[in-house]
Every structure is written in structure tokens, then in C-alpha cells.
A and B are shown apart, each in its own frame.
Chain A
């Protein structure tokens, strides 16, 4: 009999512990009884309730709108930020700027949220969609900078010289050489900013006003009022959605990776032929 290794047992155990709460939640979203104590029978009722809850659907759409818009703006601003940091000549300025960027990454959301609230009220900006969007853009920028910067640093300056040498203006060098080269970094920055915005609670909690709310804030306030299994249904849908995202990302990655490998094999066979 094959001996079961301790390390694999450990891994399985860790993952079970990590996933049990989620599956517990999803399991009870099908419960006929209105609570999570006893499973009395299977039903889709909570899902029906969810999809007929107009308010909830508007909030879901708003949340996605905020996520898409904020990550889009953050990606544009952050990419230029990364290019700016990489373009500094002095190593000292570079690391100073990068440190300032990283401080924003690690500082607690609560502090960032509170500071935004103070800022917005000082400037007289009303709380609502605009304030949430602005704060999401702001806390996403450092993430984008962090993910784009390695790609910018990887860029061989000789490529820029080559473009100029072939007659490219600064703008043409930027649009035809720099951007295509750092695109993978821009994409991962965008997706990371998107997920950060989607699941942000702390910052949003401070800056949503009365009229406007996002999913995480709404779920929190509903959960405080008492347990409704509609939340479970929503969680199940969201979980499924993120699962699809991850699987999709995996396949996109694998596709491009295998394409690259095929090319490499190609190149190798050529060398042996010549």
C-alpha cells in the first residue's frame, strides 16, 4: 500500500478549512427553512428572490461599473506613473518614489477611507457615486504602478534608441514600442485593480453617502439586520463568477504559454537542422 505523505494530508486539510465556510454558505442557499441551522429541503426560492430584488441588482451593476471605471482610470494613471518613476535618472529619487507608492499599498484601508472622508467633506464634495469612484481610482493606482513597473524596467533602452533611429518621434516610440512591450503588465495591473475595487469594503464604507452603496457594504448592512438566505444565494453566484474568472484566466495563460513553447521548439529544431 502506498504510504500517504504528511505534506499532502496537510495541504488537503488546509484547503478544506479554507473552503468549508464558503461551501457552507452556498449549501444553505438551497435551504427551504429560512435559516442556517437545519437543512430542511432543497429550493431555488432564494435565487428567485435575489433575481427579483431590483435594489440588489442595481447595486451589483453599480459595483461592477465602479470597478470597471476605477480600474480603467487607475490603469492609465498608474502606467504613466510607472513610466515616470522608471524614467528618473537618480536611483535615489526612484526608490523614494517607489517607497511612497508602497506606503499607500500597505497602509490600512480604514485610515485611507477615513482620510478620503475628511478630504471630501473639506472640499465640499458630496458623497455618492463620484466619491466612491475617486477613492477607488486613488487606492488602485499604487497597485497598477507596482505591477507595471517591472515590465518597464525590463524594457531595453536600446529598443527606444532603435525606434528613434528608424525615425520614430517620441509619441511613435511610446505607442509602437513602449506600450506593446509593457501590455502584459498593464493587463495584470488592470485586473488586480478590478478585483481590489470589486471587493473593497473599508474605504467604500467611509465614502458612500446615503443614496449610493456597493455590494460589500450592502451585504454587510443586511447581515447586520439579520440572516437572509438571499445573501447566501448572492454569495454563491459571486463565487461561481470568480471561479469562472480564474478558470478563464488560467486557460488564457496556458494558451499563450503553449504558443510560446511551440515557438521555442520550432527555433530549436531549426538550429539542429542548419
Chain B
């Protein structure tokens, strides 16, 4: 494990009116990786970014940059640059002057500035736009200029505050690829704030799920998708069927009145739990062969899949993603593998969750 480039230790942020925006945030950021801070609006993810950038101060806790405490270092002396949500390009300057802003402040030689600015514009695929006015550019182009303006200063960490949220769907997906590619080419650390779970899953090496000023879970996109720690994470990341259940014994869970084999262990016998089943893990079969039987309520064609909502005899709603539509009979059976069941304990902390996972996976 490489030496961390940024560490947040026990960061708490309380505003004058008593509102606690962040409570006890601990994060370790390693160099060269793509991180996402994922959470709903108002969760505190942007506040974390502003703390790292130096636009706001922590009430308590330490921010370390390469091992040095930088709590009191002003924003203009930190080796990080930010891409702002609405780009924050200077309207009175043209594209070249915007990108050159940081280098001009450093009083670099004219020739070097010119070369680096033009290189940066090439990197974001805007060569030949140097003399355009900002008002002449489309949203996507402004986005690229904002990225060029930040990376031209060769920051060690690039902070991105929902940079894609103002773009339309198609452009957003293109930019996701481009950003990921750019990060891998430049090998600088990206910290990307987003409320879009698909974006975070697609681009990140590691995701921090933030809600109510706390980090609920961190891990790779696959870990977080497959092993969400609690109801909130399971619901926020991807779609899921979440049901109350009871852990009868290791690898045995009971829900909707039936007992199923599962892949989770390490809990107390007869502990009340929640069970997650992802809609794409549910396979449609005949009513006789199904582990569960539901009645089809609605069926929507979503382009790449059919979204089926079924209701079982107990009145629970089941969301099913199927590549084929259900034809004929309204009663269908659902099957799934033991690994498709994910069991969540109530109120489990991330450290305990990770320890438990490690413990029984070693067995």
C-alpha cells in the first residue's frame, strides 16, 4: 500500500447555527487512484471536498497532505485543484486566459505558459479553441476548459464537484470515459463528488458512500454493489429488493416464511436481519420450479431489459429485471442462487462488517 496522499482524521464540521454537516469523517486517499464521494444532495460530500480544497475549515479533526497537517493552509497554497460544479470559468477571459490563469499567477515564462496551455487544451480535446470566448462554448466544451484549467497546474490531487451533472445524458457518458482515461493517463489522484451511483460505479477505483455527514461504507464498486452494509446503501446503489428476515444459523436465512441457503455467516442465531436480492439476480421460471411464486403486476420494457413488478402471497413487492418478457400466465416462479442473497445486520459499523466478512470468508 502506497503512502497516503491525503488523510482525514476525525473530521467534524459544525456550522454556527448548530447544524452538523460532517461527523467523525475518516478517509485515506492513496496517490494515483480514482475516488468517488457518493451520496444524496445535502449528505456532506461537497463539504468534504471543500475542506480538502481549503474553502472551508473543519471544526475539529486533522487534514493531512503527504503527512503534513494542512488545516490552516489557505486554499491558494494547497497542491490541489478543483473542477467546479458550474465550471466557474472567468467570463471576462477567453479560453486561453482562463487555462493560463494559474500559470500566470506563478509568473511562469510566456513561452512555457503557451506550450502548457495548448497541451492541456489538446488533452481535453479542444485544440484550436484557445481564442474563443467562454460565452461561445457549449456546456460540454466549458466543462473541458474547466478541467484543462485545473490540470494545467499539475496538481497532485484533482477535486471534481459534480462536474457532469449539468450535461445531458449522452455527453455525460462520453465524459465519463474521457475522465477515466485522463486520470489513468495523468496518474493523478481524482476525488469525484457525485450523487449519480452509475457514474460512481463506472469510474471509480474506490467509492465512499456518504449520508447525513457520515461515511457509511467504502470499498471498490463491486464490493459495495455486492455487499452493501445497510438498507440505505443497498437502496442508493442500484435497485434492490430488501426484506426483513431472520438468521437461523450460519448460511441459513429465513424470509417470506421460507428458509433459504445463503452465503453469509458470523451472526447470532435467530438474529433479525435484512435481506437484499438484486433484481437482475432473480430468474423467471415456471410457478412449479420457483423458490418463490409471485403474481405479475406490471411489466415495462426498458430497452435493454424488462422491468417486472411481482407481488407474492404475503403482499411483498418484487422487482425483477429480465431479458425476456413474461408471456401467458400471471403466476411466475423466481429462482436465485445462495450467493445472490446478501444479508445485512442492523446498525453494523463498517469496521465490524469488514472483520466479519474476512472471518467467515477465510473458513
Binding site for B on A (CB under 8 A): 156, 158-159, 161-169, 172, 176-177, 180-181, 183, 260, 263-264, 266-267, 270-271, 274
Contact = CB atoms under 8 A, between A and B. Distances in A.
B131 interface: no
A166 B105 contact: yes
A105 B104 CA distance: 42
B90 interface: yes
A163 B138 contact: no
Given A266-B136, A271-B138, A159 B88 contact: yes
Output the residue of A163, A169, A181 with the most chain B CB within 10 A: A163
Interface in B72-105: 74-77, 80-82, 84-86, 88-92, 101-102, 105
A260 B135 contact: yes
B360 interface: no
A29 B43 CA distance: 75
Given A158-B88, A165-B75, A167-B105, 10 more contacts: A161-B75, A163-B90, A165-B82, A166-B102, A167-B77, A180-B92, A181-B92, A263-B136, A267-B135, A267-B138
Nearest to A166: B102
B138 A161 contact: no
B76 A164 contact: yes
Contact of B153 (A161, A166, A177): A166
A158 B86 CA distance: 8
A165 B56 CA distance: 12
B86 A156 contact: yes
Given A260-B135, A267-B135, A267-B137, A162 B106 contact: no
A163 to B, nearest CB: 7
B84 A166 contact: no
B138 A165 contact: no
A22 to B, nearest CB: 40
A263 B133 contact: yes
A159 B90 contact: yes
Contacts of B160: none
A166 B88 contact: no
A161 B88 contact: yes
A162 B90 contact: yes
22 contacts: A158-B86, A162-B82, A162-B90, A163-B90, A163-B101, A164-B55, A164-B74, A165-B82, A166-B81, A166-B101, A166-B105, A166-B153, A167-B105, A167-B106, A168-B76, A168-B105, A177-B90, A180-B92, A263-B136, A267-B136, A267-B137, A270-B138
Given A161-B55, A267-B136, A172 B105 contact: yes
B117 to A, nearest CB: 13
- What are the nearest 9 A-B pairs in CB distance? A166-B102, A158-B88, A162-B88, A164-B75, A180-B92, A267-B136, A167-B105, A165-B82, A164-B76
A124 to B, nearest CB: 47
A270 B136 CA distance: 9
Interface string B102-135: 1001100000000000000000000000000101
B138 A274 contact: yes
Interface in B32-64: 53-55
A142 to B, nearest CB: 27
Contacts of B80: 165
B75 A263 contact: no
A4 to B, nearest CB: 43
Contact of B84 (A161, A183, A264): A161
A169 B92 contact: no
A177 B55 CA distance: 17
Contacts of A158: 84-86, 88
A35 to B, nearest CB: 56
A247 to B, nearest CB: 27
Nearest to B139: A271
A270 B138 CA distance: 8
Contacts of B92: 180-181, 183
A81 to B, nearest CB: 22
B149 A166 contact: yes
A172 B74 CA distance: 14
Nearest to A161: B55
Contacts of B106: 167
Contacts of A176: 101
A270 B101 CA distance: 26
A227 B9 CA distance: 85
Contacts of B86: 156, 158
A156 B87 CA distance: 11
Contacts of A159: 88, 90
Nearest to A183: B92
B65 to A, nearest CB: 15
Interface in B134-189: 135-138, 149-150, 153
A127 to B, nearest CB: 44
Contacts of B91: 181
Given A161-B75, A161-B88, A177-B90, A167 B137 contact: no
Contacts of B75: 161, 164-165
Best-buried of A162, A164, A267, A274 by chain B (most CB within 10 Å) = A162
B9 to A, nearest CB: 23
Contacts of A156: 86, 88
Which of B76, B85, B92, B138 lies at the interface centre, i.e. has the most chain A CB atoms within 10 A of its CB? B76
Nearest to B91: A181
A36 B333 CA distance: 107
Nearest to A156: B88
B76 A167 contact: yes
Contacts of A165: 53, 55, 75-76, 80-82, 150
B135 A263 contact: yes
Contacts of A183: 92
A270 B135 CA distance: 12
B84 A162 contact: yes
